[in-house]
Structure formats: structure tokens, C-alpha cells
Chain A
Amino acid sequence: MKTNIIMKVMNIIFWIVFIGLCIETGALLVSLFVTLFINSNGAEDTYMGLDLLDLYNFNVEHYIGVASFSITLSALKAYLAYLVIKLFMKFDLNYPFNEKTASVITQMSHYALSIGVVAIIAENYANRIMRQGLTLQIDWGAEQFLFFAGIIYIIALVFKKGVEIQSENELTI
């Protein structure tokens, strides 16, 4: 009973996270478009107070690069949140070890690893820009996602083994 309530609450939380990340991705896309084609002052408040106007004035290509990384990472995070929602929808405590759940968890580990790798590339890119004299305070969260990817991958392996053991158990007469 308690577990079901916790699962429902977590499902709602992840829906909120997913919607929030979708809004963030959309806002970053719109902001990039507005800054490039309508009004360059759009870079002053890209999303939730992120000020990239100095970067835009310094070099437009670098601005497009940083904005693209932000959009890509936000979109990947939104898809990861969607996979979590999908996991909650497919998860059945009475029959936890099944192929679909194992497949979703494996996908989650792959996407988390992708986010980590893209975030590392983005951080290195941002560091290169900062060496040219500009201040860029963006936390991409690379280490956190790589750590998360590692943990989820181990869980995916455990789930795959669980599926094997469960199917063998089901075919034991």
C-alpha cells in the first residue's frame, strides 16, 4: 500500500520534471531563434535568468555553440525523464522482472551516458571560451550524469539477470 503511494507520488514528480524540461528545451530554442533573428537582447535572459549577452557580443558562433549544447542537453534530459515515466507505467510489482522493464532501464543507462558525454564536451568547450577571457557560469552536470549512468547500467544488468532467472522459474514445472 505504502509502496503504491510512493510510486504514484514519484510518477507525478517525474511528470512535472518532464514537463519542466520540455518547457526549458522549448524556451531555449525560442530564445536562440529570437536572439539570432529578431532581437539580440534576447540573449540577456535566455532561460531562468541565464545571461549569454556577453557571449553573444564576444562571438556569435560561440553563442550558438553554447546555446546548442544547452538545448541538446535539455532535450536529452527531457527524454530521460520520459523514459522514467515509461518505466513507472510499465512497472508491475507482482511481475517486476520482464523484458520491457529491462529494456527501458538499459535505454535509460545509454541516454544518461550520452548526457554525461555531451556535458563533458560542453564543459570543455565552455572552458576553451573562458580561456579567451569570458566568464561563463553554466553547470552542465557531467559528473553527476556519468555516475548516474554507471549505477543505472549495473541495475540494468541485474534486471536482465532477473528476467533470465524469472523465465527459468516460470518454465520450471
Chain B
Amino acid sequence: MPIIVNLDVMMAKRKMSLNELSEKVGLTLSNLSILKTGKAKAVRFSTLEAICEALECQPGDILEFVE
């Protein structure tokens, strides 16, 4: 898939575990895992907003387009 999710990179930078992020964002661990492993087919803006708020970053820090 051309869109890569760099969630684990941002989580490492902010020293946040998946459990912590899951609690802050309000997503289940399995959903976060789907996102982290690149299996997600779509992301809602509300989810992206919550993740960016929790990780104090921009959407471009998490999503990357690779040809």
C-alpha cells in the first residue's frame, strides 16, 4: 500500500506504549494494532485528530506516501 503509517516511530519518540496511546485516544488495542501494522484501509479524521493530539504531532508525521 502506498500510504505508510509511522505510528510506532512517533510512539517511540514520545516514549508512549500502545496501551497508553489506546487509553488516550479511546481506541481498542486491536484497532491500534491494525493501524500500526498497516492493515487499515481507511482512517477517520476524528481518529487522526485524537492520535495527533495524544502524540503532539502533525498528520504528516504519522502518514507517509511512498510510490
Query: What is the interface residue range for chain A against chain B?
Result: under 10
How many A-B pairs have beta carbons closer than 8 Å: the answer is: 22
Task: Give the chain A neighbours of B34 by CB distance below 8 A.
Answer: 171, 173
What's the least CB distance linking A169 to chain B, in Å? 9
A61 in contact (CB, < 8 A):
no
Identify B27's interface contact among A168, A171, A173, CB under 8 A.
A173
Task: Give the chain A neighbours of B31 by CB distance below 8 A.
Answer: 173
B40 in contact (CB, < 8 A):
yes
Task: Give A72-93 interface residues, CB cut-off 8 Å to B.
Answer: none
We find that the number of chain B residues with CB closer than 8 angstroms to chain A is 12
Complex Cα–Cα for A162 and B43 (A): 20
Query: A167: nearest residue on chain B (CB-CB)?
Result: B41
Complex Cα–Cα for A168 and B39 (A): 11
Query: A172: nearest residue on chain B (CB-CB)?
Result: B42
Complex Cα–Cα for A101 and B25 (A): 35
Contact A171 B39 (CB under 8 A): yes
B19 in contact (CB, < 8 A):
no
Contact B44 A172 (CB under 8 A): yes
Task: Give B39-54 interface residues, CB cut-off 8 Å to A.
Answer: 39-44, 47
Query: B43: nearest residue on chain A (CB-CB)?
Result: A173
Task: Give the chain B neighbours of A173 by CB distance below 8 A.
Answer: 27, 31-32, 34-35, 40, 42-44, 47
Complex Cα–Cα for A171 and B44 (A): 11
Complex Cα–Cα for A168 and B41 (A): 6
What's the least CB distance linking A43 to chain B, in Å? 62
Task: Give the chain A neighbours of B27 by CB distance below 8 A.
Answer: 173
What's the least CB distance linking B40 to chain A, in Å? 5
Q: 1/0 per position for A134-173, CB-CB distance to B under 8 A?
A: 0000000000000000000000000000000000100111
Query: A171: nearest residue on chain B (CB-CB)?
Result: B41
Task: Give the chain B neighbours of A172 by CB distance below 8 A.
Answer: 40-44
Task: For the complex of A and B, list the 5 residue pairs with the smallest distance between their C-beta atoms, beginning with the closest.
Answer: A171-B41, A172-B42, A173-B35, A173-B40, A168-B41
Subset of 7 A-B contacts with CB under 8 Å: A171-B34, A171-B41, A172-B42, A173-B32, A173-B34, A173-B42, A173-B47
